[in-house]
């Protein structure tokens, strides 16, 4: 009995360690339930379209990963690079563009191993920390341009019903500045010549690729409100169930659960008069600065959900929760993913990583925040 209890405790600890953000969200939601007891009004907290879009997007991306679509495509691009500097630029741009299409956390899960592989086979492991950090920053900032690039974007785009053209106009200036800054950072890699063998020995399944890309096109149409989300919520899981069932099992359900708990947390806080007055007063001073700083201590997704209940200034909120993804390791779930991957692949070098992470993220956070405050709002 004692061994069984010990085994269950160890499993619980492993689950908590692996899903820190989910557990923190659940604890926060539970605490607020003591102030606002559960009732039918809880159902009004949830943005069902956001949850549906997030689920079907993750499912289709998992299907594409199952046939190694992203790995094959990325490795072919990397194969065209003849120097370490061009290799770094290619990997950072791939991650940057990938986050615009498949969301920042999925882009990192897909492309960080490629960065490790490329530096490992070319004997350039000493540059691993710099490359991982730049890939992390590019994932956080690349996703800002599209509604489905970052989870907080998908939520705010839906919650405030932001016109697509206006959304793009708001996020384009910091996006272009981010591209310029990342490009400059990549110039610190030497022009060392190298050859990379990127053959996987696996052919791409053209029929499945075409089908999954068609499903992904459907998810984009749903995000842009051209197809009802309820239709996609039925169509896509049914197709994948018969064609690529494992993709449905691979969906990041803890991320979906995190959204659910933060909806409860934010909804309850908004109904507490003292909290409503305090947070609302802060946001009246500067929604941009409050949202940017909030991300540093409670991450960008919960900050977006919480603060959206207290302000209608979605322009500054959008800028703040996207720029705020840089900074501390907990400012974005993607940053925690990168740190976890680096610790696993490069044991003993975590201190070096954290120091360089703090320096580069601090620079990006400062420059982008100042630029947004004086020029973008």
Between 287 and 260, residue with greater pLDDT: 287
Between 357 and 124, residue with greater pLDDT: 357
Per-residue confidence (pLDDT) for residue 355, from 0 to 100: 93
Per-residue confidence (pLDDT) for residue 369, from 0 to 100: 97
Distance CA 30, CA 256 (A): 17
Residue 287 pLDDT greater than 90, yes or no: yes
Encoding tokens for residue 320? 């703040």
Between 277 and 211, residue with greater pLDDT: 211
CB 311, CB 286: distance < 8 Å: no
pLDDT in tens, 65-95: 888 887 777 677 667 777 888 888 988 998 8
Per-residue confidence (pLDDT) for residue 219, from 0 to 100: 87
Per-residue confidence (pLDDT) for residue 173, from 0 to 100: 96
Distances 170 to 137, 153, 176, 192, 278 between C-alpha atoms, Å: 19, 12, 11, 39, 27
Distance CA 130, CA 137 (A): 11
Distance CA 236, CA 219 (A): 9
Distance CA 66, CA 69 (A): 8
pLDDT in tens, 135-177: 999 999 988 988 888 889 989 999 999 999 999 999 999 999 9
| Average pLDDT value over all residues in the chain | 86
Cβ burial of 271 (10 Å; 0-12, 13-18, 19+) is middle
User: In this prediction, what percent of the chain has a pLDDT beyond 70?
Assistant: 94
Which letter, b or e, does each residue of 39-52 get, where b requires 16 or more Cβ atoms within 10 Å of its Cβ?
Answer: eeebeebebebbbb
Per-residue confidence (pLDDT) for residue 1, from 0 to 100: 59
User: For residue 51, what pLDDT band results from cuts at 50, 70 and 90?
Assistant: confident
27-41, 98-112, 229-243: segment of lowest average pLDDT: 98-112
Distance CA 219, CA 228 (A): 10
pLDDT in tens, 167-195: 999 999 999 999 999 999 999 998 887 66
Per-residue confidence (pLDDT) for residue 74, from 0 to 100: 65
Per-residue confidence (pLDDT) for residue 272, from 0 to 100: 85
E strands, the chain, in order: none
Task: Report the Cα–Cα distance between both ends of the chain, in Å, rounded.
Answer: 62
User: For residue 4, what pLDDT band results from cuts at 50, 70 and 90?
Assistant: low
User: For residue 131, what pLDDT band results from cuts at 50, 70 and 90?
Assistant: very high
What mean pLDDT do residues 183-210 have? 78
User: In this prediction, what percent of the chain has a pLDDT beyond 90?
Assistant: 38
Residue 198 pLDDT greater than 60, yes or no: no
pLDDT in tens, 315-358: 999 999 999 999 988 888 788 778 877 877 788 888 889 999 99
Between 367 and 26, residue with greater pLDDT: 367
CB 348, CB 122: distance < 8 Å: no
DSSP character string of 215-268: HHHHHHHHHTTSS-HHHHHHHHHHHHHHH-HHHHHHS-HHHHHHHHHHHHHHHH
Supply the DSSP symbol for 125. G
What mean pLDDT do residues 117-132 have? 83
52-56, 111-115, 151-155: segment of lowest average pLDDT: 111-115
What mean pLDDT do residues 117-124 have? 76
The whole-model pTM stands at 0.81
Between 93 and 117, residue with greater pLDDT: 93
Encoding tokens for residue 354? 């954290």
């Amino acid at each position: 009995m004692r061994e069984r209890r010990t085994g269950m405790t160890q499993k619980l600890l492993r689950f908590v360690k692996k899903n820190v953000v989910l557990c923190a969200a659940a604890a926060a939601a539970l605490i607020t339930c003591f102030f606002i007891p559960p009732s039918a009004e809880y159902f009004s907290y949830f943005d069902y379209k956001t949850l549906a879009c997030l689920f079907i997007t993750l499912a289709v991306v998992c299907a594409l990963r199952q046939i190694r679509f992203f790995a094959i495509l990325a490795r072919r691009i990397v194969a065209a690079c003849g120097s370490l500097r061009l290799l770094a630029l290619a990997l950072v741009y791939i991650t940057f563009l990938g986050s615009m299409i498949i969301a920042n956390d999925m882009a990192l899960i897909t492309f960080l191993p490629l960065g490790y592989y490329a530096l490992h086979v070319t004997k350039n492991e000493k540059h691993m920390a710099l490359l991982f950090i730049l890939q992390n920053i590019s994932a956080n900032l690349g996703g800002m341009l599209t509604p489905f690039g970052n989870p907080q974007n998908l939520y705010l785009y839906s919650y405030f019903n932001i016109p697509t053209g206006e959304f793009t106009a708001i996020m384009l200036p910091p996006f272009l500045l981010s591209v310029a800054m990342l490009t400059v950072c990549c110039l610190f890699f030497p022009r060392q010549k190298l050859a990379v063998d990127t053959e996987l020995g696996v052919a791409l399944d053209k029929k499945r690729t075409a089908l999954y890309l068609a499903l992904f096109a459907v998810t984009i149409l749903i995000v842009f409100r051209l197809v009802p989300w309820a239709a996609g919520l039925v169509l896509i899981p049914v197709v994948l169930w018969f064609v690529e069932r494992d993709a449905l099992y691979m969906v990041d359900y803890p991320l979906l659960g995190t959204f659910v708990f933060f909806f409860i947390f934010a909804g309850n806080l908004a109904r507490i008069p003292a909290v409503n007055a305090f947070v609302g007063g802060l946001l009246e001073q500067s929604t941009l600065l409050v949202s940017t700083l909030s991300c540093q201590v409670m991450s960008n997704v919960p900050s977006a959900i919480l603060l959206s209940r207290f302000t209608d200034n979605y322009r500054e909120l959008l800028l703040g929760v996207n720029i705020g993804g840089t900074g501390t390791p907990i400012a974005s779930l993607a940053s925690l993913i990168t740190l976890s991957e680096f610790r696993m692949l490069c044991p003993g070098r975590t201190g070096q990583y954290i120091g360089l992470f703090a320096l580069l993220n601090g620079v990006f956070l400062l420059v982008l925040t100042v630029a947004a405050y004086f020029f973008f709002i």
